[in-house]
Copies of this chain bind each other. A is one copy, B any other.
Amino acid sequence: MSRLRGARAEVVPESVRRAGGVPEATVGRLPLYLRALTPLHDQGITNVASEELAALAGVRSTQLRKDLSHLGSYGVRGVGYDVDLLAAQIAQELGLTQEWPVVIVGLGNLGRALASYGGFSGRGFRIVALVDDDPAVVGTQVEGLTVTTLADLADSGPTVAIGVIATPAPAAQAVADQLVAMGIRSILNFAPGHLTVPDEVGVRSVDLATELQILAFHEQRRLLSVSPEDPLRGGRDREVAG
């Protein structure tokens, strides 16, 4: 589900790419574990067993333990994991010991929703710039930041590590090109459609229609298989990492 997929370049096998590293599937779940640990920390709980944490994160305990083993985890046999220590370890692995500066491009409904979303600060990210190309919007204040153009950002704006694209689909590729040109190598894309970027740039795409269509597939499957001789649909607790 997140899912990595090659497009260009020779394929470097995971076994080589991962020199001293963590499998991609595990990376996709580390955020879930971190998210599950936070409320435990807030409740003053200091220790948690893999079974319990796995339930909170929505995975199996063996999976959790295997994942954590890749970061050379420090669980205690017979006891469990130290909540704060584990959270710190995962945060370090994900690179959240520093704050990554983020720009949001496109201040339509979605862009504004993202800008006002609380999930950035305190989780390793800070919005440092907001960009739009509508003259009526540029210069206005949104969430305490002055909206600029992409050109202004490249020219005289703050340094940015991650670009979030929340523009209409037709503009997304051009925006991505400009973000890449100004040195950004991580892009989160909310516009539908595939972005073509150089190999060294990471892109993750979130598309509402795609998600709904996947749900529709299973919904249809369910409706069809209720009637006949086939009582197996193996329904399972479904979740997507991203």
Contact = CB atoms under 8 A, between A and B. Distances in A.
B233 A17 contact: yes
A70 interface: no
A9 interface: yes
Given A94-B217, A218-B202, A238-B202, A208 B114 contact: yes
Given A56-B194, A211-B206, A211-B242, A199 B235 contact: yes
A45 B221 CA distance: 31
Given A219-B202, A240-B206, A28 B123 contact: no
Given A113-B112, A203-B238, A209-B123, A194 B32 contact: yes
Contacts of A32: 194, 210
A197 to B, nearest CB: 7
Interface in A163-207: 185-188, 192-207
Interface in A1-27: 1-9, 11-12, 16-17, 19, 21-22, 25, 27
A161 B27 CA distance: 32
A12 B232 contact: yes
A69 to B, nearest CB: 17
Interface stretch (A79-87, A95-103, A144-152): A95-103
Given A117-B110, A217-B93, A212 B4 contact: no
B162 A19 contact: no
A186 B93 CA distance: 33
Given A94-B213, A113-B109, A116-B109, A219 B162 contact: yes
A158 interface: no
Given A95-B220, A125-B216, A188-B211, 16 more contacts: A1-B241, A6-B236, A7-B59, A7-B239, A9-B237, A11-B236, A16-B232, A22-B217, A31-B209, A93-B217, A95-B216, A95-B217, A96-B216, A119-B207, A124-B216, A188-B208
CB-based closest 4 A-B pairs: A1-B1, A1-B2, A95-B220, A12-B234
